[in-house]
Amino acid sequence: GKHGAFELNYSSDIDIVVFYEAERFPFSVGGEKRRTAVEIVKGIVKLLADATSEGYVFRVDLRLRPDAGATQVAISAKAAEEYYELMGQNWERAAMIKARACAGDAQAAAQFQKNLSPFIWRKYLDFAAIQDIHSIKRQIHSHGGHGTIALLGHNLKLGRGGIREIEFFAQTQQLILGGRDASLRSPRTLEALGALEARGAISCRSMDELSEAYCFLRKLEHRLQMIEDQQTHTLPKTQEELNRVACFCGFDSMMEFETELLKQLRNVASNYGQLFEQEAPLSAEYGSLVFTGVDDDPDTMETLAKMGFSAPGIVAAAIRGWHHGRIRATRTQRARAILTHLIPSLLDALSKTADPQNAFVHFDRFISGVPGGVQLFSLLSARPDFLKLIAEIAGSAPRLAEYLSRNASVLDALIDPDFLTEIPRPSELKEKFAIERARLPGFEGALDAARRFAREEMFRIGVQIIRGEADTARAGPAYAAIAETIIEKLHPEVEGDIRAAHGGFAGGAFAVLALGKLGGREMTAGSDLDLVFVYTHDAEAKRSEGPRALGPGQYYSRTSQRFITALTAMTTEGRLYEVDTRLRPSGNQGPVAVSLASFEQYHAEKAWTWERMALTRARIMSGPAELVEKVQGVIAKTLTAPREPAEIMRDALEMRGKIAAQFPGKSIWDIKFAPGGLVDLEFIAQGLQLCFAAKADVLDQNTIAALEKLRIAGALSGDDTQRLIEAARFQHALTQVLRIALNGPFKPEAASAGLKALLVRAAKADDFASLEERLASVQREAREIFSRLFH
């Protein structure tokens, strides 16, 4: 700082950084040299800064040390050198231009500065480094030297045409040119300007104007600080007080003072603006956005507040942390350089969300989870539309943002022009999976291909729902189509893997049934898969035909377990689904794979009513045609068997009561379990299907389709059907958005404005209050119908 360059103000603080050589440090208390060094520094600061009856010596600022927010006040020289080499920022290079040894071991200090010289004075600067230096300038002010300069309340240090601009004018060119020309390395501003002019880097006129302005502004700064011995750089805010300053500075009239001051400020602003006149400003719409150094820049705080960020200090601190490489995405110099250029555009995009502060917090979490930043930041810099999309996701869908941070590679899929416009048909999904599978050989390759494919397609659905590009009604079938594709394509891979280990089974066949949300094509983001595995084989075949032969039960249980593992295991590409097999015959007490004969017998003789209700949603995902036909026959036979309606409805009501006891659904936003929620709607559809399937075509795995068939069969009135379908569609729409946006339960009082806006749009409501009124209304009507049917 100014102390290093012999440029102190009348009431300056002093910027010091303290280093020690651990191997040579002569003091140690309890064997801890670092702790001892820290205590010494605290003692020095106390002597200098504490006020006594005689006043104080100097205010002390220790924040220019490496990564001040995360390090002790005394740092080992080795650790500091490693920091500057790996993480040092260009503003720290600029600060080090003014560094000099002022106390301690002069020889060690000289060696330390010699070691740092390659960091400060680079002989070769790549494009990214130069861009980073330029981007710091473009952040510091967007006005480019133009616009009105008001004198009252003007900051002589940080304001337009101020001292900081003169210093930065010199330092940026010193950083770029000083690596090859040692004559440009002076720590003193006036000497640096003279050296730049002598080299031909700036004109003689620029040198003269800036030097004159520097001397004038520094003299004025001294006078301001003499008035009350305050470390201020700001002109008075009243004309009367400004008159006193003009008199104190030796001017005969206020007009003479104002004329001279405006001339100097405008000369500085003009030269400063021309320095990078080809560079586009990074913060032109709002104002100053400065995140260099260690202090919160007042103009930046004002700019952030104007942009809608409710806690500007938190935003600035996080961005400084990014610059310091405290997250993996910004550990490389290249990533930090790109990010510096990107930040104003990023903040602009976040400011346009419904809740900028909340959006920033989730964006911070997003990039904190990304393993590398160069590719991501380059993509966002090149494609502002992607940046806007990420801002939207951060502002309204934290779960999707978290998913992105773990799976940043899915952003590459955005390059596909159809990504944001079309949800692929099942046939297209199968083609896409085949292409992905062909790239990765072997069984493990199949698992990784499935994960990449699912990750990209699920992200596509989430993005389209968040952006309103796709209707929420399409999401359930789309998620189900992804799962169906994966199960169908992994089926031969799993069986092939088992055959390789244990041989085939004579007459053997294996099928996968889906129940629950997958069976009903009502999946949401994060839905698990309810699966049942059914097999058959030649009656005389007792063992498989391979070298490690297995009996049929063990063989197909192992096949089922391998299938479950293929869907659930964590690989380098992540996890696919959670799988629930408790809807198989006898639940957890039964074998994981069940023979066709046992499957038929169980549902004919032993199944509970609720198990038959669950079977109304059964769909076969994969398996050989002959076995598929047989399983479908068993399901149809089970569901169409004549039954006593009163008994079915009584059993269903009893089961619903047990569910309510465990999951009471205390809020309308507990959409699944609330009275009149999705479980009630499913019970109505499934219970009535069991009652009427023996005499009418009422079977369908999908709840809404089943309700419509029940209306046609006369099992439901037209009015009841309409109200139930409306309740189902409305609550499914909200559920789709909530599952995309959140990991946990929805709490309206804690929800972001962005998420509430998404829900309002999905519900086609006027506002959130009317949405809640309608949700309560459809649940109330659905519950009334449920109570009337189940009595």
Q: Write out pLDDT tens, residues 604-628.
A: 999 999 999 999 999 999 999 999 9
Tell me, yes or no, whether 60 lies in a domain.
yes
Half-sphere exposure of 184 (CA within 13 A, CB side): 25
Q: How high is the pLDDT of residue 30?
A: 66
Give the model's pLDDT for residue 623: 97
Q: What is the pTM of this model?
A: 0.71
Place of tokens 């949800």: 423
* Domain count along the chain: 5
pLDDT band at residue 138, thresholds of 50, 70 and 90? Answer: low
Taking the chain, what is the end-to-end CA distance rounded to the nearest angstrom? 82
- The predicted-structure confidence for 65-87, as pLDDT tens digits, reads as follows 998 888 899 999 999 999 888 88
Burial (CB count <10 Å: 0-12, 13-18, 19+), residue 278 = exposed
Above pLDDT 90, what percent of the chain? 63
> Does one domain contain both 188 and 309?
no
Query: Both 683 and 554 in a single domain?
Result: no
The answer to whether position 421 is within a domain reads no
Q: How high is the mean pLDDT of the chain? A: 90
- Alpha-carbon distance of 568 to 512, in angstroms, equals 15
pLDDT bracket for residue 533 (50, 70, 90)? very high
Question: Distance between CA 748 and CA 744 in Å, rounded?
Answer: 12
Least confidently predicted of 46-60, 408-422, 470-484, 687-701: 408-422
Lowest-confidence segment of 34-43, 363-372, 413-422, 723-732 by average pLDDT: 413-422
Half-sphere exposure of 165 (CA within 13 A, CB side): 33
Q: What is the largest CA-CA distance in the chain?
A: 118
Give me 2's structure tokens.
């100014």
Q: Which of these ranges, 10-14, 192-196, 666-670, has the smallest mean pLDDT?
A: 10-14
End of a domain among 215, 240, 275? 275
**Token pair of 470 as six digits:** 């796709």
409: in domain: no
**Does one domain contain both 623 and 669?**
no
User: Which of residues 763 and 30 earns the better pLDDT score?
Assistant: 763
The whole-number average pLDDT for the span 631-645 is 96
User: What CA–CA distance (Å, rounded) separates 586 from 565?
Assistant: 22
Both 519 and 455 in a single domain?
Answer: yes
Let me know whether 700 and 596 are in one domain: no
Residue 434 and residue 502 in one domain: yes
Distances (CA, A) of 317 to 292, 303, 313, 346, 610: 10, 15, 6, 16, 55
Question: For the segment 542-568, what is each residue's pLDDT rounded down to a tens digit?
Answer: 898 878 889 999 999 999 999 999 999
By the 8 A CB rule, do 22 and 76 touch?
A: yes
Q: What is the pLDDT of residue 31?
A: 67
Compute the C-alpha angle 366/448/445, nearest 5°. 155
Query: Which two three-digit tokens encode residue 41?
Result: 């520094």
Please tell me the predicted confidence (pLDDT) of residue 535: 97
Q: Say which CATH number the domain at 227 has.
A: 1.20.120.330
Instruction: Please state, as a whole number, how many other Cβ atoms lie within 10 Å of the Cβ of residue 641.
Output: 13
Q: Taking Cα atoms as reference points, which of 105, 126, 95, 114 lies closest to residue 2?
A: 95
Contact 586, 527 (CB under 8 A): no
| Residues in a beta bridge with 74 | 18
Distance CA 610, CA 383 (A): 52
Quick one: pLDDT at residue 144? 37
Distance CA 378, CA 271 (A): 31
Assess whether pLDDT exceeds 70 at residue 143.
no
Residue 38: per-residue pLDDT: 93
What CATH code is carried by the domain that includes residue 358? 1.20.120
- The confidence score (pLDDT) of residue 748 equals 94
Structure tokens at 562: 């391998």
Token digits of residue 394: 């951060």
Residue 485 has pLDDT above 50, yes or no: yes
DSSP 439-478: HS-HHHHHHHHHHHHHHHHHHHHHHHHHHTSS-GGGHHHH
pLDDT of 627 reads 97
Instruction: Kindly state whether residues 367 and 468 are assigned to the same domain.
Output: no
> Is residue 404 domain-resident?
no
What's the mean pLDDT in 710-725? 97
Residue 63: is its pLDDT beyond 60?
A: yes
Residues 6+ apart with CB under 8 A from 9: 2, 218, 221, 222, 225, 231
Above 50 in pLDDT, residue 716?
yes
The per-residue pLDDT for 423 is 82
pLDDT in the model for residue 355: 87
The verdict on 433 and 558 lying in the same domain is yes
Predicted local distance difference test score (pLDDT) of residue 218: 96
Q: Is residue 655 part of a domain?
A: yes
Q: Assess whether 651 and 735 both reside in one domain.
A: yes
| Mean pLDDT, residues 97-102 taken together | 94
Structural domain range at position 360: 298-396
pLDDT at 417: 63
User: Measured between alpha carbons, how far is 769 from 760 in angstroms, rounded to an integer?
Assistant: 9
User: Are 481 and 337 in a shared domain?
Assistant: no
Boundary-marking domain end, from 71, 99, 120: 120
Residue 130: the pLDDT is 62
DSSP letter for 297, please: P
pLDDT in tens, 245-286: 999 999 999 999 999 999 999 999 999 888 755 444 444 456
Helix (H) or strand (E) holding 92: helix 90-96
Sign of the four-CA dihedral 373, 93, 271, 224: positive
Residue 265 lies in a domain: yes
In this structure, the answer to whether residues 632 and 698 fall within a common structural domain is no
pLDDT confidence of residue 279? 47
Structure token digits, residue 713: 């069969």
What is the Cβ-side half-sphere exposure of residue 221, based on CA atoms within 13 angstroms?
A: 23
For residue 46, the domain's CATH number is 3.30.460.10
Q: How confident is the model at residue 337 (pLDDT cuts 50, 70, 90)?
A: confident
- The upper half-sphere exposure of residue 700, i.e. CA atoms within 13 Å in the direction of its Cβ, equals 18
pLDDT tops 60 at residue 714: yes
In degrees, rounded to 5, the angle at the alpha carbon of residue 98 between the alpha carbons of residues 92 and 99 is 80
Least confident of 323-327, 347-351, 769-773: 323-327
Residue 24 binned pLDDT confidence (cut-offs 50, 70, 90): confident
Q: Is 349 a domain residue? A: yes
Query: Which H or E run contains 52?
Result: none
Token pair for 274: 């021309």
Residue 105 sits in the same domain as residue 239: no
pLDDT above 90 (res 27): no
pLDDT at 147: 43
Q: Is the model's pLDDT at 759 over the cut of 80?
A: yes
DSSP category for residue 423: P
| Inside any domain, residue 403 | no
Q: Are 728 and 681 in contact (CB under 8 A)?
A: yes
Closest C-alpha among 348, 373, 372 to residue 360: 348
pLDDT given at position 675: 97
Last residue of a domain, one of 615, 640, 665: 640
pLDDT of residue 175: 87
Report which of residues 398 and 669 the model is more confident about.
669
